[in-house]
Amino acid sequence: MTDASAPRPKPRRARGLMDRRGPALALERELIANIAKVYEDWGFEPLETPAFEYAEALGKFLPDQDRPNEGVFAFEDDEEWVALRYDLTAPLARFVAENFDALPKPYRRWAAGPVWRNEKPGPGRYREFWQCDADTVGSASPAADAEMIAMASAALGAAIGDAGRPFLKVSDRRLLDGLLETLSFTEGRSPEQSRLIVLRAIDKLDRLGDDGVRDLLMAGRKDASGDFTPGAGLVLREAEDVIDFVRGTEVDSDDAVLNFLANKLAKSKRGTEGVEALGQLQQCAKALGLGPKDWRIDTSIVRGLEYYTGAVFEASIDDTSKYGSVGGGGRYDDLVARFRGEQVPATGFSIGVSRLATVLEARGSDAVEIGPVVVLVMDQARVADALAMADELRRAGVRAEAYLGAAGMKAQLKYADKRASPIAVIQGGDELAKGVVTLKDLKLGAKIASGLGEDREAYAKAREQVQVEVPRDQIVAAVQQMLAR
């Protein structure tokens, strides 16, 4: 027996985590299935890696301190730190390095699963969420980047259907590297620190506008709460050059953008490499059927992860920032090198499944939840008959369950409604005597009831369409026919 005096734990979720039921899970499963089909149609094989890795293998978030818990959830196991994966790419790099000689090159894989980030939760920002990735490891060609954005466009299109149109913004990290070579920074901060401040400032352009980004590029910015963010230490002329560089790509023609970038970065070897790579990517994208309605070059795209080395891309729905990014990726030629000591080119794209589902729900899209057929139990002494009917339906491929509570008919029908059941199967004493069962079309009944309102006479007439009697030995065919209807 439970000790009534013992303290009881509070039923509460940990911060930043979600409980998800039927409709939300159904939508996410549908999204993953549609995305995965496109990935596999393009020749990518599935791969599943463990939920946690040795912390040293993850690398990205780990600070220089005794307990590596900044950004990741970590724990000590046999005197070695392990951590929950924060994305699906770092485990891929470990897998490729560990199995390098046995894998085909390039190696093309897709994966889906939850990831965990030890970050401050907020609206729409969770500590656990699902991603669905595709990566090509072993190809340095810009054609691999073009294929990645074309496949991402196709996968997102298959996932969202008529709910919108996927749009990708594409840039190359070498462009901004070339620009940064011309800038001077405040003393006392390493060039790498200043570089990251500039990149993060540019990444906030849509949210903060020119004025806010200018402050971050120079002395710093104080937000509405009074918190101060130190800036990169550029002088006004340099800050304006950065903003003009990003705004200069906001033109209709990608050819015009490439010309602008080529002129702006003519004196930078690394910047010129980025422009040339984007030009090749553009040609391949056209060959893959992508046009101005599908993608454009946008140098404000820098991506938050710090390991991108070349092309970077970000996806939204309908070229709008209203709902934010639903996916992104890019080229990361140095990630596998952490293990092997030699550069292994790689490019990939990650779709935020949980984020995409949230966006679609906000736009009124939902997977239609269809629960199981529910066989009611009108007499507890005959529960075995209900179990037998449910089993017969399942053997014919119909999702079904027998009601195993102790409530009456009215409560059982409410239960079936809460289960999103399409059909209730009823066999009371009268039906048993006649050798029949009653099938109640719950979906049609709800539709008719909502359309007829308070018109009881009309509803009584429509009831003939909702409830039908069928011979007991024809239950499977009758249920299948009603489901098809």
Q: Above 90 in pLDDT, residue 249? A: no
Comparing 179-183, 254-258, 281-285, 404-408, the range with the smallest average pLDDT is 179-183
Q: Above 60 in pLDDT, residue 310? A: yes
Cβ neighbours of residue 352 closer than 8 Å, sequence gap 6 or more: 129, 130, 131, 325, 326, 327
394-424 CB burial, b ≥16 within 10 A, e <16: eeeebebbbbeeeeeeeebbebbbebbbbbb
Q: Are residues 36 and 116 in the same domain?
A: yes
Residue 366 pLDDT class (50, 70, 90 cuts) = low
Tell me which residue of 202, 180, 193, 210 sits closest to 299, measured CA to CA.
202
- Return the pLDDT at 61: 52
Q: Are residues 42 and 131 in the same domain?
A: yes
Tell me which residue of 223, 177, 225 sits closest to 204, measured CA to CA.
223
- Return the pLDDT at 443: 87
Tell me which residue of 350, 305, 314 sits closest to 92, measured CA to CA.
350
Q: Above 60 in pLDDT, residue 69? A: no
Residue 65 pLDDT class (50, 70, 90 cuts) = very low
Q: Are residues 275 and 399 in the same domain?
A: no
- Return the pLDDT at 194: 74
Residue 451 pLDDT class (50, 70, 90 cuts) = low
- Average pLDDT score over residue span 459-468: 73
**CATH number, domain at 316?**
3.30.930.10
Which of 311, 337, 362 is the C-terminal boundary of a domain? 362
Element at 97 (helix H, strand E): helix 89-98
- Return the pLDDT at 391: 96
Instruction: Give one DSSP letter per residue of 262-327, joined into a string.
Output: HHHTTT-HHHHHHHHHHHHHHHHHHHTT--TTTEEE-TT---S-TT--SEEEEEEETT-SSS--SE
Separation CA 401–CA 377 (nearest Å): 11
Quick: pLDDT tens for 377-411: 999 999 999 999 999 999 999 999 999 999 999 99
Average pLDDT score, the chain:
87
Cβ neighbours of residue 337 closer than 8 Å, sequence gap 6 or more: 343, 344
66 within a domain of the structure (yes/no): no
- The tokens describing 90, both together, are 């770092």
Instruction: Give the residue numbers spanning the domain of 97.
Output: 22-49+85-180+268-362
Q: What is the largest CA-CA distance in the chain?
A: 93
- Return the pLDDT at 404: 95
Cβ-based neighbour number of residue 302 at 10 Å: 25
Comparing 21-35, 197-211, 397-411, the range with the smallest average pLDDT is 197-211
Domain count, the chain: 2
- Looking at the whole model, is its pTM more than 0.85? no
Separation CA 303–CA 351 (nearest Å): 14
Q: Are residues 276 and 355 in the same domain?
A: yes
201 within a domain of the structure (yes/no): no
Cβ neighbours of residue 235 closer than 8 Å, sequence gap 6 or more: 184, 218
Which of 313, 340, 362 is the C-terminal boundary of a domain? 362
Q: Are residues 295 and 171 in the same domain?
A: yes
Range from 51-65, 171-185, 209-223, 240-254 that averages highest in pLDDT: 209-223
Quick: pLDDT tens for 314-342: 999 875 556 678 999 999 998 899 899 99
Comparing 165-174, 204-213, 388-397, 421-430, the range with the smallest average pLDDT is 204-213
Q: Which residue has the higher pLDDT, 254 or 415?
A: 415
Q: Over the Cα atoms of the chain, what is R_g?
A: 29
- Return the pLDDT at 114: 95
Separation CA 80–CA 430 (nearest Å): 69
Strand partners of residue 132: 112, 351
**CATH number, domain at 478?**
3.40.50.800
- The tokens describing 100, both together, are 């390098």
Q: Are residues 377 and 346 in the same domain?
A: no
172 residue type, one letter = D
